Amino acid sequence: MRVLVFGRSGQVATELARLDGQGHEIRCMGRESADLSDPEGAAKILAREAATGWPHAVINAAAWTAVDAAETEEAAAHRLNAEAPAALARAAAEAGLPFVHISTDYVFDGAGEAPFAPDAPTAPLGAYGRTKLAGEEGVARAGNPAGWAVLRTSWVFSAHGANFVKTMLRLGAERDALNVVADQVGGPTPADAIAQACVTIAEALAADPAKSGVYHFSGAPDTSWAGFAREIMPRGGRDCAIEDIPSSAYPTPAPRPRNSRLDCRATEAAFGIARPDWRAGLDRILTELDRTT
């Protein structure tokens, strides 16, 4: 399958680029080629690429991911997270190309302890979640007859960019102990697994557009940030103790959902994609980091 990806430097886009030549042709468009802060301009670029007949599907892996900054820059976040995916989804629909868009657990309020199903009521706590939810709604409204999917995921990590794993490794090398939030629970998800899931979904939509809809994909087993950190330290060769603290002891400009558990059964049923073991993903990423340091 030939896939046109919007995004190039983010964690998932980087992993999508790595799939090029592994049974797929992947072309990633970064900000210099398609600036999503100009949604209609980006849509025109998609239409131009579609007119060449090259892509078989489109994946949007670009987003505003600075959760706290979105609280004071919501208009800018809205352009990237809501207006841009909606414009791209419309352009993909007009071109007859399946469209896959990556979203987030932040569309939920994090209440309770049960995993959120794809059709669970949404109630974002902050600006980031609001803009991502608006993007989901725009993708759905495009009504792509060639197929569309919103893939919600959580706690993304990889060997690239800024993420929790790399932060823990850095701080664990500097300190004997760290306080880490223990009352937020979710599924850490390797970016390479998300990339593969997106391509698998795009292929399935091309064969059967009736599978269109909203899906969930996160790593297993569910854990807290503190539990995640306790796995990172010894696996990463760090002798650093992790002390549990409540969210109230680590205030942030944007509120975080306490419950980020995602019910991923529909994704496995529709596409045969099981939840990845994040511990195996963590080991892969630590091996890669060792090679690059």
Pick the CATH number of 2-161+189-218+256-276 from 1.10.40.30, 3.20.20.60, 3.40.50.720, 1.10.150.120: 3.40.50.720
With bands split at pLDDT 50, 70 and 90, how would you rate the model's confidence at 292?
confident
The predicted pLDDT at position 97 comes to 98
| Residue range 51-86, pLDDT digits in tens | 999 999 999 999 999 999 999 999 999 999 999 999
- Where is 151: in which H helix or E strand? strand 148-153
Active site residues: 128
The predicted pLDDT at position 178 comes to 97
The predicted pLDDT at position 168 comes to 97
Using the predicted structure, report yes or no on whether residue 293 has a pLDDT greater than 70.
no
What tokens were used for 240?
Answer: 């650093």
Q: What span, in angstroms and rounded, lies between the C-alpha atoms of 160 and 285? A: 9
Using the predicted structure, report yes or no on whether residue 36 has a pLDDT greater than 80.
yes
* Mean pLDDT to the nearest integer, 222-226: 98
Using the predicted structure, report yes or no on whether residue 207 has a pLDDT greater than 80.
yes
- Residue 286 burial (10 A CB sphere; 0-12, 13-18, 19+): middle
| Residue range 45-60, pLDDT digits in tens | 999 999 999 999 999 9
Q: What span, in angstroms and rounded, lies between the C-alpha atoms of 185 and 187? A: 7
According to DSSP, residue 34 is labeled: -
Q: What span, in angstroms and rounded, lies between the C-alpha atoms of 187 and 275? A: 9
Residue with tokens 């994609």: 273
Q: What span, in angstroms and rounded, lies between the C-alpha atoms of 136 and 128? A: 13
How confident is the prediction for the chain on average, in pLDDT? 97
- The domain ranges of the chain are 2-161+189-218+256-276
